[in-house]
């Protein structure tokens, strides 16, 4: 009988693999980092345990932009580990972590808030500064108090959202994020002049600062921002005049919302009917220069109840003391209307419209858009009832006369 021969040992056995895994890795840490960059954060954190090379790779991995929301103690603890194990996270959201939890107080904290939260468990917010590749940061109702300069030193940051009233900061601090494209602020803790945003003139595409009464300046300071598409400054102390805009200003703007004190803003209240008519014609000239009515088509303007032209109606129909632009096909005009009002003890009925005052000429009958224009015009004219034949608000005597005729026709009085 032939002697039994031993099986040759496979070169790919586990023992050899374990012995050589750290000695001669198939790929370098940099190469592994490129591969891990296609995976979500949780999976990267698991794979980093495989070996030393993979641990080093995780530290170098540029993590894909996915929302990591720190809204619990467990999530904060995970963030704390990632601050050293996977520091190239690109998106983080910080918010409320639960009762009795807070982040460390910053500089110049509100003493009353500090005293009220003195016994809370404190967590270090400064670990965020470890994430130097951060591109998106949202701080929403997080338990913070005071100033945190380190949160404004992310050189790659592109999108910043802050909704924390007890977090103090100034618009000038945004200079630390020179690549910022989108700014969303809903907080009374911010101060400063919007002129400070000029440091970000060439990058900003969206600026939304709302309910921030300590932010001031003139909105026209942003008029030459070449990429700005959205500007919203509701409930701030910003001022200005809508009519200061010309064809060269806000070249990319698609949406505009301004505070009540800006002259000509949506909802602005005028003192005289003649002023409103003059204003709407100036707006029309502005639209002609910019060749786009979209920004102002849904805006309305009103006559103030303090105006000497204003008088009280007989509840219904409403007085047509509001004005709006109207686009019918390619033709632009404006009309007066009565605002629909619902009171606790009374329903004032549907909105009443006056006739359209045309600013553009009627389309040519042979043109391709004429049929559509006529169809839309017929629908709009069906809405004209009580003020049929009126192209502007009637005098008080005219209104009363129309009301008597209306009552006679409807009720037989």
| 8 Å CB contact between 102 and 123 | yes
| 8 Å CB contact between 330 and 300 | no
Residue with tokens 């194990």: 85
| 8 Å CB contact between 194 and 169 | no
Q: How far apart are the first and last CA of the chain?
A: 129
| pLDDT for residue 74 | 93
CA distance 318 to 339: 7
Closest to 150 (Cα-Cα) out of 126, 168, 133, 132: 126
Alpha helix segments (H runs only) across 86-195? 111-116
| pLDDT for residue 315 | 64
Q: Determine the distance from the C-alpha atom of residue 99 to the mean position of all C-alpha atoms in its chain, rounded to a whole number.
A: 29
Q: Tell me whether residue 328 is exposed, middle or buried, using C-beta atoms within 10 angstroms of its C-beta: 0 to 12, 13 to 18, 19 or more.
A: buried
| pLDDT for residue 349 | 58
As a three-state string, the secondary structure of 194-263 is HHHHHHHCCCCCEEEEECECCEECEHHHHCCCCCCCEEECCCECCECEHHHCCCCCCCCCCEEECCCCCE
| pLDDT for residue 136 | 96
CA-to-CA separations, 172 to 81, 180, 206, in angstroms, rounded: 32, 13, 17
CA distance 390 to 392: 6
What is the token pair recorded at 140?
A: 């929403």
| pLDDT for residue 161 | 97
Using 70 as the pLDDT threshold, list the residues of the chain that sit under it: 1-25, 32, 37, 291-293, 314-315, 340-349, 412-413
Give the predicted TM-score (pTM) of the model: 0.83
Q: Going by DSSP bridges, is the β-strand pair 136-140/159-163 parallel, antiparallel, or unpaired?
A: parallel
């Amino acid at each position: 009988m032939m002697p039994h021969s031993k099986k040759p040992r496979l070169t790919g056995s586990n023992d050899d693999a374990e012995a050589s895994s750290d000695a001669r890795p198939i790929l370098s840490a940099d190469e592994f980092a490129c591969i891990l960059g296609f995976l979500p954060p949780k999976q990267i954190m698991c794979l980093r345990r495989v070996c030393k090379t993979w641990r080093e790779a995780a530290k170098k991995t540029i993590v894909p932009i996915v929302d990591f929301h720190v809204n619990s103690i467990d999530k904060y603890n995970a963030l704390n580990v990632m601050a050293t194990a996977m520091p190239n996270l690109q998106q983080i959201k910080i918010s409320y972590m639960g009762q009795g939890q807070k982040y460390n107080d910053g500089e110049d904290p509100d003493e009353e808030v500090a005293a009220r939260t003195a016994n809370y468990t404190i967590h270090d917010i400064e670990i965020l500064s470890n994430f130097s590749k951060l591109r998106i940061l949202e701080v929403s109702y997080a338990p913070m108090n005071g100033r945190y300069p380190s949160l404004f030193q992310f050189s790659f940051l592109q999108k910043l959202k802050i909704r924390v009233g007890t977090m103090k900061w100034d618009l000038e601090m945004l200079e630390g994020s020179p690549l910022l494209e989108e700014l969303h602020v809903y907080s009374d803790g911010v101060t400063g002049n919007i002129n400070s945003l000029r440091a970000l003139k060439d990058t900003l595409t969206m600026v939304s600062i709302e309910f921030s009464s300590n932010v001031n300046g003139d909105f026209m300071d942003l008029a030459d921002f070449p990429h700005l598409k959205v500007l919203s400054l509701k409930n701030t102390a910003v001022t200005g005049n809508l009519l200061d805009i010309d064809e060269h200003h806000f070249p990319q703007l698609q949406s505009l919302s301004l505070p009540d004190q800006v002259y000509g803003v949506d909802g602005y209240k005028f003192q005289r009917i003649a002023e409103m008519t003059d204003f709407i014609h100036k707006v029309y000239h502005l639209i002609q220069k910019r060749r786009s009515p979209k920004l102002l088509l849904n805006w309305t303007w009103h006559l103030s109840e303090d105006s000497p032209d204003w008088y009280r109606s007989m509840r219904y129909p409403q007085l047509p003391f509001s004005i709006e632009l109207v686009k019918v096909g390619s033709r632009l005009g404006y009309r007066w209307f009565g605002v629909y009002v619902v009171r606790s003890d009374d329903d004032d009925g549907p909105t009443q419209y006056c006739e359209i005052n045309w600013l553009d000429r009627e389309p040519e009958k042979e043109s391709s858009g004429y049929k559509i224009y006529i169809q839309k015009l017929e629908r709009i004219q069906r809405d004209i009832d009580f003020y049929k034949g009126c192209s502007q608000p009637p005098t008080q005597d005219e209104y009363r006369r129309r009301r008597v005729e209306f009552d006679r026709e409807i009720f037989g009085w």
